[in-house]
Amino acid sequence: MLGLSSSVCRRAAIITYEAEMNLVIHGGGGKIIANIDQDSVEIMTVDQGPGIPDVGLAIKEGYTTASDHAREMGFGAGMGLPNIKRNADVFEIDTEVGVGTTVRTVIYFQSGQ
Amino acid sequence: MAHSIKISYSACHGCVNCIKSCPTEAIRVINGSITIIKDLCIDCGECLRACARKALGLDDDDWELIYTHGLVEAIPDPTFFAQFGSFWYPDAARTALSDRGIDLLVDESEDAFDLAAYASARIIEESSSDHLPLISTYCPSVIRLIQLQFPELLSRIIPVENPLEIAAELWRSRTKSYAPLTLFAPCPAKITLIRDPIGREPSPIQHIVAIRKVVHTLMASGVKVSQFDKSLPSNWRFATWAIRGGETKHISKFASRELTVLAVSGLRNTIDLLQQLELGRFRGVDFVECRTCDLGCFGGVAAPESRFLSHLRNRHVETEWSLTPERTDELASMYDRTKLWKTREPIPSKQRLPLSSDLTEAMSRMKQMKAIFAEMPHIDCGACGRPSCKAMAEDIVREQGEITDCVFKLREGISSLANQILSLANAQPHTLKKSRI
């Protein structure tokens, strides 16, 4: 309908889904803001949660700090951030322990992926 | 994208049976008769099945003209041989029909289907497990459905040409003849396969005729085919492709390992399977065969015989499945030497036309569309000539319809107008005394 390719929609859906789970499991709630432009969509995930002490570790596949409760429900496999990164053309993370985390991703409509 | 459905406007009554049956919502009734949106039609033939007045037919070539014109070089669809009172063994059929001026390309068909199965087996074996399962290219309707609704699955379509076209090319390269070739087609999808090929230059086949017409001519002429003679070579593995599972069975015979294959038929099963495949299910499956017609190609709308009977006949005659080493070598050399089996170009996606070429405009129209849809009765009655309230809302924002096309909205409009008239009628000029009723 909008003339966007299905891969753009799929990637945007994966990113928002994973971001949403991160907000619920780790961030204690927050906001997902989507800015749609002519040639790209920017998805910002903002929370005032505990922050990430070691970003390098957090974006490694399989690393998780999710609670047993979340993991019992099948979440918290340590794939959230890596999955977001893989599906985004731009991936930026800004975090401070005790203050919160902001993840900014951009998907270009004409990218090669 | 073209389609091969012909509309008889004099027979069309403007009922909405066909628009409801269409899986891609390609049909509209406008001004009392139907129109088909070309870009959305996948030639599955569901509308022909749904039309009780036979207002829909197949847009094939003139069989009488072809038949009376001279020798017909014909590619028989695998369904052809089970359309008569008994199963016609391809070799026997060729002999019997040669007297009638029809040359059935049986040898080329056998080679082409063997080659396609062999090539498919090789490609499946060479693919990494991430790229499996691959999807059959045989049913043109399935390819069009994937182009339209499952573009993510395009990369899974196996790059093997349709064996009917391979047969035509083999015949051309062997005979060096320019005589036109005729395909006996069991469905509109195979007509479109030839008329408007996807991912290749013009088809090597020139004429396409519905099997029904050919069968009627032959039956009327009282042609007799001698029954099974043990001395005849049983080279008709290709005829099993007419049944669901025939293709996968054929491919499995050429594979060096045991393949896990799925074969489904019927539109609903096909759509279900593609949806599940898109969700990433079917890990561990190597190949899927989908046919949009029930029971496989025997269920095609252009096949005259009962699909149950033809299916039964095909299943109950045996063919030789074990391959001689010479045959396998021959196919291996054909596979390496010619690239006839290979699809020429990747198949492009065919997504719906966007609401506007400008994204901002498209988004605002989408918002408008949702607002219109929210006001609709949501019962998908079809009285507006569209298959659903959603399709109606879309047509309105595309400026191809009015809100008053909806009988419920029209009624609401009349009712509010009537109320306005009533309140105007009740308003009295001050100079008149109030009535005492």
For each of the domains in chain B, give its residue range(s) and CATH number, in order of start. 5-58 (3.30.70.20), 63-337 (no CATH), 359-426 (1.10.15.40)
pLDDT at B420: 94
* Tens digit of each residue's pLDDT (9 = 90 or more) over B297-329: 999 999 999 999 999 988 877 777 888 888 888
Closest to B131 in 3D by CA, of B285, B269, B247: B285
Comparing CB atoms, the residue among A2, A6, A36 nearest residue B152 is A6
Closest to B347 in 3D by CA, of B142, B191, B168, B206: B142
* Tens digit of each residue's pLDDT (9 = 90 or more) over A30-78: 899 999 888 889 999 998 888 888 888 888 877 888 888 877 777 777 7
Domains of chain A in sequence order = 6-108 (3.30.565.10)
Beta strands in B191-303 (DSSP E): 207-210, 261-265, 287-291
| Cβ of residue A6 closer than 8 Å to a chain B Cβ | yes
Three-state SS at A19:
helix
- Do residues B62 and B213 make contact, with C-beta atoms less than 8 angstroms apart? no
Report H helices in B150-245.
163-175, 188-195, 211-220
pLDDT at B263: 94
B232 pLDDT more than 70: no
pLDDT at B233: 54
Q: Strand order of the sheet with strand B134-135?
A: B134-135, B287-291, B261-265
> Angle of helix B106-126 relative to helix B163-175, nearest 10 degrees?
120
Do B354 and A2 make contact, defined as CB atoms within 8 angstroms? Answer: yes
Rounded to two decimals, the ipTM of the complex is: 0.71
User: Higher-confidence residue: B155 or B224?
Assistant: B155
Residue B228's pLDDT band, with cuts at 50, 70 and 90, is low
Return the number of other C-beta atoms located less than 10 Å from residue B294's C-beta: 18
Three-state SS at A53:
coil
DSSP B5-33: EEE-TTT----SHHHHH-TT--EEEETTE
Q: How many angstroms away from the CA of B353 is the closest CA of chain A?
A: 7
Q: What is the DSSP letter of B132?
A: P
Residue B128's pLDDT band, with cuts at 50, 70 and 90, is confident
Q: Which residues contact B68 (CB under 8 A, 6 or more apart)?
A: none
In this structure, chain B runs to a length of 437
Q: How many angstroms away from the CA of B373 is the closest CA of chain A?
A: 15
Q: How many angstroms away from the CA of B360 is the closest CA of chain A?
A: 7
Residues from chain B that touch A2, judged by Cβ atoms under 8 A, are 354-355, 359, 362-363, 366
Taking CA atoms, what residue in A is nearest to B352? A1
Residues from chain B that touch A10, judged by Cβ atoms under 8 A, are 152
> For the residues B124-142, what does the mean pLDDT come to?
91
Residues from chain A that touch B278, judged by Cβ atoms under 8 A, are none
The DSSP element (H or E) to which B134 belongs, if any, is strand B134-135
Three-state SS at B71:
coil
Q: Which residues contact B258 (CB under 8 A, 6 or more apart)?
A: B252
| Cβ of residue A36 closer than 8 Å to a chain B Cβ | yes
In this predicted structure, which of B43-47, B195-199, B371-375 has the lowest mean pLDDT? B195-199
> For the residues B371-398, what does the mean pLDDT come to?
92
Q: How many angstroms away from the CA of B361 is the closest CA of chain A?
A: 9
d(CA A108, CA B372): 30
Comparing CB atoms, the residue among A2, A5, A10 nearest residue B355 is A2
Q: Which residues contact B250 (CB under 8 A, 6 or more apart)?
A: B113, B114, B117, B237, B238, B240, B241
CA B24 to chain centre: 12
d(CA B154, CA A7): 12
- Do residues A52 and A70 make contact, with C-beta atoms less than 8 angstroms apart? no
- Do residues B52 and B295 make contact, with C-beta atoms less than 8 angstroms apart? no
N-terminal to C-terminal alpha carbon distance within chain B: 69
- Do residues B125 and B256 make contact, with C-beta atoms less than 8 angstroms apart? yes
| Cβ of residue A1 closer than 8 Å to a chain B Cβ | yes
pLDDT at B437: 54
B368 pLDDT more than 90: yes
Residues of chain B in Cβ contact (below 8 Å) with chain A: 151-152, 349, 351-352, 354-360, 362-363, 366, 369, 394
Do A3 and B354 make contact, defined as CB atoms within 8 angstroms? Answer: yes
pLDDT at B185: 93
Taking CA atoms, what residue in A is nearest to B278? A10
> For the residues B88-114, what does the mean pLDDT come to?
86
| Cβ of residue A35 closer than 8 Å to a chain B Cβ | no
Do B362 and A6 make contact, defined as CB atoms within 8 angstroms? Answer: no
Interface test with A, best of B25, B147, B359 (most A CBs within 10 A): B359
Beta strands in A10-108 (DSSP E): 30-36, 40-47, 90-96, 100-108
pLDDT at B269: 95
Taking CA atoms, what residue in A is nearest to B356? A2
| Cβ of residue A113 closer than 8 Å to a chain B Cβ | no
The DSSP element (H or E) to which B237 belongs, if any, is none
- Please return the burial class of B52, using the count of CB atoms within 10 Å of its CB with bins 0-12, 13-18 and 19+: exposed
A2 pLDDT more than 70: yes
Instruction: Quote the tokens at residue B124.
Output: 């499946």
Q: Is beta strand B72-76 parallel, antiparallel or unpaired with respect to A40-47?
A: unpaired
Residues from chain B that touch A3, judged by Cβ atoms under 8 A, are 351, 354-357, 359, 362
